[in-house]
Amino acid sequence: MIDGLITVLPQLTAAISARRGESNDVLSHIRPKTYISRMFNPYEVLNKNLETLKFENEVKYPIALSKHLSNIKGIECLENNWDNYGAIAPNIFIISQVKKFLTLLPNQFLEALETEYVFPNPNGTISVEWRNHNNAVSIEFGAETANYFVCLNSEYNGDENIKNIEEHIPRALISSIAKVI
């Protein structure tokens, strides 16, 4: 039994090494051109748009949102009398409400929202507006409540004294934004 194994072992090891050698040959032939160049070529990575490399829902939403959040940083930094007519600096609590509201919005709403249309008012409130030619949706966030109006073909509608709008966005508001954008 042992003798048999001894005689077989060299043949087995030779066969394995031969296969390894063969596979090594194959790998050494393939790797530089396919695996290595495709996976690690930095030029190829740099030339591609990052958005297309990842899943759309994972990447596009944060990009649209982060654009607005970085814009809000500018609002956070405002000091009293920023408009030279005695405006007060925006309220921090209201800023956090606006951020929360924006995170709830669908991606297409965020993309349609111009960054500068998230803006402060002289009394510390913040407005978020979608404008498209003569149509508009304008939401104003106060510390306690919010209100919004919709202007479609010069006709105004809206709702006021809405509490927790940043947690429960009214359906009418969502459909109005969709109409305006």
Q: Where do contacts with another protein occur on this chain (CB under 8 A)?
A: 70-71, 73-75, 77-79, 81-88, 91, 94, 114-117, 119-125, 127, 129, 134, 136, 138, 140-147, 149, 151, 156, 158-160
CB of residue 110 vs another protein: minimum separation in angstroms?
A: 17
**Number of residues that make up the chain:** 181
Report the Cα–Cα distance between both ends of the chain, in Å, rounded: 83
The smaller minimum CB distance to another protein, of residues 58 and 79, is found at 79
Please count the helices (runs of H) and the strands (runs of E) in the chain: 8, 5
The smaller minimum CB distance to another protein, of residues 109 and 125, is found at 125
CB of residue 140 vs another protein: minimum separation in angstroms?
A: 4
The smaller minimum CB distance to another protein, of residues 7 and 154, is found at 154
**Contact yes or no for 126/75 (Cβ under 8 A):** yes
Q: Measure the CA–CA gap between 98 and 103, rounded to whole angstroms.
A: 9
The smaller minimum CB distance to another protein, of residues 151 and 178, is found at 151
* Chain position carrying tokens 């958005």: 51
CB of residue 63 vs another protein: minimum separation in angstroms?
A: 16
**Contact yes or no for 181/112 (Cβ under 8 A):** yes
Nearest residue to 131 via CA among 152, 145, 146: 152
CB of residue 101 vs another protein: minimum separation in angstroms?
A: 14
CB of residue 154 vs another protein: minimum separation in angstroms?
A: 9
The smaller minimum CB distance to another protein, of residues 94 and 105, is found at 94
Question: Which phi and psi angles does 84 have, rounded to 5°?
Answer: 70, 5
